[in-house]
A and B are shown apart, each in its own frame.
Chain A
């Protein structure tokens, strides 16, 4: 801690975070089954997944409020599993901010320093500094009920950062903000996190938020991480069916090679596989389907203008397909039009129908399971 130095927010204190084998059983919180996660120095990892997937449970374990059945949490290699929450030095921003309603903004931000028995004058200087950084320097005398949602958010962030936390945890920090504010604050948080080199875990249920802010995205489902990779890879090479479906909007098209979509699925993978493709799930993102050329004949069932693009719903035989088409093309399509379409085989994502794991096809047309991916139950999930 650099009392009075010129650059007090150089957070050399940021630590590496390791979670090993976290297991929490069903109870008042969502269960987690043997979760492992490492967040490097100054890295931002987003935990993303549907509600009940265990992401908040994982945060609760890092803070120490949730006692696991098994598992350890390490800060910079030191096991802190048994340490009380107040001794872990964590910064935390709650979804609803949890600002102390009976204290002024100044008292709120100073509270962690008071708890650490920091000398008052120095504490006040720290408060002024972080409040300036967060743009709430002019609000210090106010009380929480006099603040807007965005201002409360900044106060909560200032309170989390003022003690120079070893790890910063953000639990859905944007979900209570208006849509336009959300993008703005998201960018601010990312800029701040990069400046301060904070080791950060960011929990959200919004896949686009996770993609936009994180160094790596951890997709969670049913109490475990089913994909952990850089945002771009997650999108272009989803390691599992669940993450392919969860990431990307509009959602990826998925057809099984066995069942009602059999005809279409087998036809599009024909150039790739030799064995006919039994037991596979075929996925293609809506923007990877070409319209106007090709051998497949489809019928337009609905067009939705989304602004720059149109989302066009088509049917091919019994199968339906969503296609993203540029607006200038999309506006000419009408209900019941017959259109030609084409799917470039290299754009296809293949998954094992039983396990949900990504399947790669080698040059000889043979299947190979993607070893880097973890399965997530395939169709069952």
Chain B
């Protein structure tokens, strides 16, 4: 529904602005796809967006050639990302609920601090995390990366969940109490079902964060077999030598894009529709 009627010229200007933003975001992506599916000889020269001939050699090369990285690094990344997503979802739900519902003297300030922390560059955490994991004996283990990922995702997650819970009227919880439900039933049947869109957003963001992470696993996981595709791909390109092999790098990146795109494709409707609260309150 259009809220404001636009003149023809305004419409044109809007289309141009949207097009520019889209080009900025999408063109590099398309270029990656384009380079990934063209023969290696055409990778850099001649310069063209559209490939003149198509091939899957790059992709099969990265995944299945004897010197390729195989599917293992993708599996690793998925495992780390999903684990972090689960931990983040649980912790953020609990923390967000507490912040939203219990009046704490410093609740508002705490929320701001939490959000500020989530904006710290992850590079600044690498050295402390290295020391911490070494001291606790977690260095090189899956737990180390998963916990590090989750620790990075939980601040924003708590912030988002606090907002989600604040949108759920306290009246509904009171109604459930009066209807005879204890804490567990009130949570399970009334509060959590209404918070699911928020939980999905938080889990998705955490997964993507983990999936795309490079510097943390580079430092925390020395063992090749346990490394995610980001680290494995970098090592692979290095080992091939002769500068950067763009077609193979693009092919490896393209494979990494697919899970992220499919998560968004599946969840996009739920991600956008926050709430489902229509009808709770007069309206």
| Interface, chain A (partner B; CB < 8 A) | 63, 65, 84-92, 94, 96-102, 111-112, 114-116, 143-147, 149, 152, 159, 163, 176
CA distance A112 to B190 in the complex (A): 12
The 5 closest A-B pairs by CB, nearest first: A144-B279, A145-B279, A115-B180, A145-B278, A112-B179
**Which B residues, 234 to 259, have Cβ-Cβ distances below 8 Å to chain A?**
none
B229 to chain A, nearest CB (A): 38
**Which B residues, 13 to 38, have Cβ-Cβ distances below 8 Å to chain A?**
none
Q: Are B181 and A98 in contact (CB under 8 A)?
A: no
Q: Are A100 and B277 in contact (CB under 8 A)?
A: no
Q: Are B282 and A144 in contact (CB under 8 A)?
A: no
User: Which partner residue on chain A sits nearest B280 by CB separation?
Assistant: A101
User: Which partner residue on chain A sits nearest B283 by CB separation?
Assistant: A145
A111: chain B residues at CB < 8 Å are 176, 179, 181, 189
Q: Are B278 and A101 in contact (CB under 8 A)?
A: yes
CA distance A98 to B176 in the complex (A): 9
B34 to chain A, nearest CB (A): 44
- Judge if B175 is at the interface, Cβ distance under 8 Å: yes
User: Which partner residue on chain A sits nearest B190 by CB separation?
Assistant: A100
> Which of B175, B276, B281 is most buried by chain A, counting CB atoms within 10 A of its CB?
B175
**Which B residues, 253 to 283, have Cβ-Cβ distances below 8 Å to chain A?**
276-283
A146 to chain B, nearest CB (A): 8
B283: chain A residues at CB < 8 Å are 145
- Judge if B182 is at the interface, Cβ distance under 8 Å: yes
Q: Are A96 and B194 in contact (CB under 8 A)?
A: no
Q: Are A100 and B181 in contact (CB under 8 A)?
A: no
> A86-B182, A102-B276 known; A149 and B282 CB under 8 Å?
yes
Pick from B185, B276, B282: contact of A176, CB under 8 Å: B282
B171 to chain A, nearest CB (A): 4
Q: Are B193 and A102 in contact (CB under 8 A)?
A: yes
Pick from A89, A91, A101: contact of B279, CB under 8 Å: A101
B121 to chain A, nearest CB (A): 39
CA distance A144 to B276 in the complex (A): 11
CA distance A45 to B202 in the complex (A): 48
- Judge if B143 is at the interface, Cβ distance under 8 Å: no
A295 to chain B, nearest CB (A): 54
Q: Are B180 and A163 in contact (CB under 8 A)?
A: yes
Q: Are B177 and A144 in contact (CB under 8 A)?
A: no
Pick from B172, B182, B278: contact of A98, CB under 8 Å: B172
**Which B residues, 187 to 215, have Cβ-Cβ distances below 8 Å to chain A?**
189-190, 193-194
- Judge if B222 is at the interface, Cβ distance under 8 Å: no
Q: Are B178 and A152 in contact (CB under 8 A)?
A: no
B176: chain A residues at CB < 8 Å are 100, 111, 115
CA distance A124 to B193 in the complex (A): 22
A114: chain B residues at CB < 8 Å are 189
B130 to chain A, nearest CB (A): 45
A89: chain B residues at CB < 8 Å are 180
